[in-house]
Amino acid sequence: MVLYRRTRSTRLLVVSLVMLSLMTITIDFRGGEQGPFAAVGRGALAAVAPLQAAVSRVFRPVGDFFTGLVHVGSLKSENDALREEVQKLRSENIESVSIQRENAELLALVGLRDQLDLEGVPAIVIGESVSNFEWTVTIDRGSSDGLEVDMPVVTGEGLVGHVVRVSGNAATVELIIDPESAVAGRLVGSGETGLVVGDTDLRDLTMELVDDETEVNPDERVVTSGYQGGLYPPRIVIGSVSHVTGGSGGVSKIITVRPAVDFSSLDIVLVVTNHRATSEP
């Protein structure tokens, strides 16, 4: 009996609420924007709007944060792709610079060969031996390419040295800055000759046995003298004058010569094959 009463009361409540809702909708529809409920709605909107704006300001960063988390993987992939592209461009630039430098070296070698009427075998420096006892480099050509001991070695910049050891597919070149190296040189301005020797302490060369009366100009070029039977052909650039000492009281001048070749970055060289050092009769 109690259950029946509760069910009946619930049904009456539901029917009453439905009827009230229908009446509200009818009144609001007929009243339009001027109806009593429209005014209540506008008031409620005015009261609630500031609260909605505040809630939006508070929770929008949170929403943006979670949205950003969704895209983190995509952004990381894009950054990785950009890094790879930058690295690729850097590698291409380095390769391009290297090719340009090699082309410039080859052109200089061709120019020197044509100017001095030299014939030779181009070679690449594949190793170096720098110690207190010798300054040498190893090149990738040997006796199978026609190389022999005492053949001169040059670059487009000037004189490098000469071959001192040969194997089937490689050779060792003694540099002119080696302490044991001695090159017969000539001052271009005066034509005076002297002996250019290596000096590894300064990485410069020293020109000795120059007459004390000789006028020597700053930056004057020094070239190989090319005397008969000598180790090197004539007119190959050795370097330029950087300092002069001595030259008084009958003492011969001592001239510091800055090498024309940068021995720290040797790459492509030419081994001269149409010049032979011979002993004088």
Q: What is the pLDDT of residue 115?
A: 75
As given in the structure block, the two tokens for residue 259 are 């090498």
Q: How confident is the model at residue 280 (pLDDT cuts 50, 70, 90)?
A: very low
As given in the structure block, the two tokens for residue 99 are 């090719």
pLDDT at 134 over 70: yes
With pLDDT > 90 as the criterion, what percentage of the chain qualifies? 37
Q: Are 155 and 266 in contact (CB under 8 A)?
A: yes
Digit-coded pLDDT (tens) for 67-91? 555 555 666 676 777 777 677 666 6
Digit-coded pLDDT (tens) for 13-26? 655 665 655 565 55
Q: What is the pLDDT of residue 29?
A: 46
Q: What is the pLDDT of residue 168?
A: 94
Residue with the two structure tokens 């006028």? 215
| Nearest Cα residue to 149 out of 173, 182, 125, 130 | 173
Helix (H, G, I), strand (E, B) or coil at 134: coil
Q: Are 224 and 232 in contact (CB under 8 A)?
A: yes
Q: What is the pLDDT of residue 30?
A: 53
Q: Give the Cα separation of 281 and 106 in Å (integer).
A: 38
Count of CB atoms within 10 A of residue 93's CB? 10
Q: What is the pLDDT of residue 199?
A: 79
Q: Give the Cα separation of 146 and 273 in Å (integer).
A: 8
Question: Looking at residues 203-232, what average pLDDT do you find?
Answer: 89
DSSP 8-state symbol, 204: E
Q: Give the Cα separation of 13 and 19 in Å (integer).
A: 10
Q: Which of 5-9, 48-52, 140-144 has the highest mean pLDDT?
A: 140-144
Total residue length of the chain: 281
Q: Give the Cα separation of 192 and 185 in Å (integer).
A: 8
Q: Give the Cα separation of 129 and 147 in Å (integer).
A: 20
Q: Which residue has the higher pLDDT, 101 or 230?
A: 230
Q: How confident is the model at residue 281 (pLDDT cuts 50, 70, 90)?
A: very low
Q: Give the Cα separation of 175 and 70 in Å (integer).
A: 64
As given in the structure block, the two tokens for residue 44 are 């409620």
With pLDDT > 70 as the criterion, what percentage of the chain qualifies? 58
Q: What is the pLDDT of residue 2?
A: 45
Q: What is the pLDDT of residue 45?
A: 46
Q: Which residue has the higher pLDDT, 274 or 246?
A: 274
Q: What mean pLDDT value characterizes the chain?
A: 76
Q: What is the pLDDT of residue 56?
A: 52
Q: Give the Cα separation of 147 and 132 in Å (integer).
A: 27
Q: Are 214 and 207 in contact (CB under 8 A)?
A: no
Residue 141 burial (C-beta neighbours within 10 Å; 0-12, 13-18, 19+): buried
pLDDT at 133 over 50: yes
Question: Looking at residues 221-234, what average pLDDT do you find?
Answer: 88
Structural domains of the chain in order of their starting residue, each with its CATH number: 120-272 (2.40.10.340)
Digit-coded pLDDT (tens) for 234-266? 999 999 999 998 766 667 888 999 999 999 888
| Nearest Cα residue to 161 out of 125, 208, 114, 202 | 125
DSSP 8-state symbol, 146: T
Q: What is the pLDDT of residue 233?
A: 92
